[in-house]
Structure 1
Amino acid sequence: MTNLPPVPAGLRGAVDLSSLVNRPPAPAAVPQAPSGGAGEVGQPAPTAGGAVAVPAFVLDATDASFSQFLEISNTVPVIVDLWAEWCGPCKQLSPVLEKLIAEYAGRLLLAKVDVDANPQLTQAFQAQSIPAVAAVIGGRPVQLFVGALPEAQVRDVFEQVLELAAQNGVTGTAVVDGAPETDGGVEPEPEPLPPHHQDAYDAIDRGDYTAAIQAYKTAIAQDPRDQLAVAGLAQVSLLERLQGVTIADVRGAAAADPTGVESQLAVADLDLSGGHIDDAFDRLLTLFPSLDQAGRDAVRTRLLEYFEIVGTDDARVATARRRLAMLLY
């Protein structure tokens, strides 16, 4: 489901990471401060007072380096963000995760896992749909939630993770290695978003996808060339359609009605959100020739949304777009 499941009351790791725990550690990377994104973790360095030194609070994790995060999780809970570049909902969730991790100032770390580049971790965390978020506490994994959630709900989950960690004796903190002393200076304010884009982000943050959709539509009405609003509208529309649905119900309905437009559009949404992009495209393009005009219009509109979500420069989009053009003409 895209809804938030409860965090387990004790450490009952549903994912077997033993193969990663027993792997020899990867050669330590030279700690580097992040430059516009996540940093890379080197060998964690213990410090005084139950702390561990890290290059940044937000770090890239790989199949080769994850054993080091397991070690860090004995001191500080590690949040794991499973994402991909093509995943629209991931782009909504990741900034929320990174903002909150910064606010927790070392009580939690964030390990970002690109599922396309790290198949072992993807399999280990059983990431059948992304974005997926888990935690590792004392070397043991805890699955948290799937899908993009509002900031307030994510914050609640993080509080539960800290409570669970405390129950299991994981109460340390992380410090950024080599960070300069604060001088009381104020960080420069980020450049403000256009008003309707800000309205959309605020609505997404409180879980009001309907209001976010309306904000993006207003932005597009004022400037039809606003590609960020077009892409944002496609992404938040997908989030709204997925809200409250279950995989079993959607796939069951699609299997029972293999030629139904609505049932196939719904299961294509699941395919896309789970990273099965080619499956989503093929499902709708295969269905297309058998439909009446209304059905064809619905499928074409949904495919155009998918192209915006995945990215119009993606090779899979180019292939699907050519196939759609051949079916249209």
Structure 2
Amino acid sequence: MTHGAFDLSGLKRPTPAPAAPPAGGAAGGTPTTGAYTVPVSDEAGFQAVVEASMTAPVVMVFTSPSRMPASADYGRDVASVVEGYDGRFLAALVDADQAPALASALQVQQVPTTYVLLDGRPAMQPIPGVVSTEELQALFQQLGQQLTMQGITARHQPRHAAAEDGEEGADPRYAAAEEALVSGDIDSAVAEYQKLVDGNPADTEAARGLAMAKVLQRTQGVDAAAARAAAENADDLHAQIMAADLDLLDGRVEEAFARLVDTVARTAGDERTKAREHLISLFEAVGNDDQRVLTARRNLASALF
């Protein structure tokens, strides 16, 4: 994540907001209800969600139901995905027609545009246009993993009672592994995820957590600068593998994949097998349904055949 992609320091720091939704409803069918969804149509509502981002990330979507009805549909899609994370994120849906000053402050060039706020500032580059539900899920999954690795595990409180009784909370099966990650005990996190995978090989979330924890385990104590310098030697397989791990942790997913695809293309025999197997392990860490993984798999097939 890259904090401060846009400078929000000129905005007034809000006072803590109550648990109720921010002031101002949304128009054009944009959802105004949801345990973790709030409408924003004025500065007070914006300040409230900026304050909420001091606790956990806020996914802010600018829409224009009057000028582009499809953007409101997209806002609903984002909110639906966010609701599935049980407070890990908060969806803030901004009607740019009702709040043009907010759109101007964040330099919104088109609708829809999606921001992720953390600590009152954008945590990554804005996402213009419509993103598929699958890509949104992959993005939030990766962001959640990165936050956990940084020890950021707080959740938003629900804005109101869930619409359905008996709604499930966070899965407690992963608690021990996540707590180990937060405490910096990577070896224990690997062991906990391994237990889950051994008990249920079909548990894709545990498998993904195990793969990412192993990346952390391999890179513990590594001098990143020295490792990247060593990777300038394209023929050093170990250096390419380590650099790919570091690329992944830095959020440069495509670069990590491309590095190993190129290594597979250049090598043969045992070295090619090792590079391919390591690349597949990184696919699992990111998520096999991620579009970047699907693209890299095609590139890998071309490199092999």
Does the Cα contact within 8 Å between 2:261 and 2:300 map onto a contact in 1?
Answer: yes
Q: Residue deviations 1:36-65, cap 9 Å, x none?
A: 65646543339xxxxx6559724334799x
Q: Is the contact between residue 204 and residue 212 of structure 1 (CA under 8 Å) also seen in structure 2?
A: yes
2:213 counterpart letter in structure 1? V
Could you say if the C-alpha distance between residues 113 and 316 of structure 1 is closer, same or farther in structure 2, counting changes exceeding 3 Å?
same
- Per-residue Cα deviation, 1:6-56 (whole angstroms, up to 9, x for no partner): xxxxxxx998838987xxxxxx9849867365646543339xxxxx65597
SS in 1 for 2:172: coil
Task: Give the AA of the match of 2:149.
Answer: A
CA contact (8 A) 1:29 1:42 kept: yes
Which position in structure 2 is the counterpart of 1:278? 254
2:245 to 258, 269, 277: 269
Letter in 2 for 1:280: A
Q: Deviation digits for residues 151-193 of structure 1, max 9, x if unmatched?
A: 5xx89xxxxxxxxxxxxxxxxxxxx9xx78x9xxxx9882542
Q: Which has the higher contact order (CA 8 A, sep 6+)?
A: 1
Secondary structure of the 1:45 match is helix
Which residue is 1:139 aligned to?
none
Task: Measure how far apart 1:210 and its partner are.
Answer: 1.0
Counterpart pick for 1:217 among 185, 194, 198: 194
- Alignment pair present for 1:239 and 2:216: yes
Task: State yes or no: 1:43 paired with 2:42.
Answer: yes
Q: Which of 175, 199, 208 does residue 198 from structure 1 map onto?
A: 175
CA RMSD for the aligned pairs? 5.0
Counterpart CA distance in 2 for 1:240 and 1:95 is: 28
Which residue is equivalent to 1:105?
A: none
Aligned to 1:313: 289
Pairwise mapping of residues 8-19 of structure 1 onto structure 2 (< 5 A)? 17=7
Contact 1:33 1:55 in 2 (8 A): no
Contact 1:42 1:54 in 2 (8 A): no
Q: Is the 8 A contact 1:44 1:54 kept in 2?
A: no
Q: For residues 230-284 of structure 1, what are the alpha-carbon distances to aligned partners after superposition, in whole Å with 9 as ceiling and x for unaligned?
A: 11111222233344445432321212x2211111112212323333333222211
Q: Distance in 2 between matches of 1:201 and 1:277?
A: 22
Asked whether the equivalents of residues 40 and 61 of structure 1 are also in contact (C-alpha less than 8 Å), the reply is no
- 2:127 counterpart residue number: 117
TM-score by length of 1: 0.50
Instruction: Give, in whole Å, the separation in 1 of the partners of 2:60 and 2:190.
Output: 33
Q: Structure 1: give runs of 5+ residues left out of the alignment.
A: 1-12, 22-27, 47-51, 65-84, 86-93, 100-107, 119-129, 133-144, 156-175
- 1:171 maps to none
2: CA distance, partners of 1:147 / 1:213? 14
Q: Deviations over 1:72-103 (max 9, x none)?
A: xxxxxxxxxxxxx9xxxxxxxx999869xxxx
Alignment of 1:48-87 (within 5 A): 53-54=48-49, 57-58=52-53, 59-61=58-60
Structure 2-normalised TM-score? 0.53
- Cα deviation, 1:188-238, whole Å, max 9, x if unaligned, reads 8825423xx332122112111111111111222222212111111112222
Question: Which amino acid counterpart does residue 148 of structure 1 have in structure 2?
Answer: M
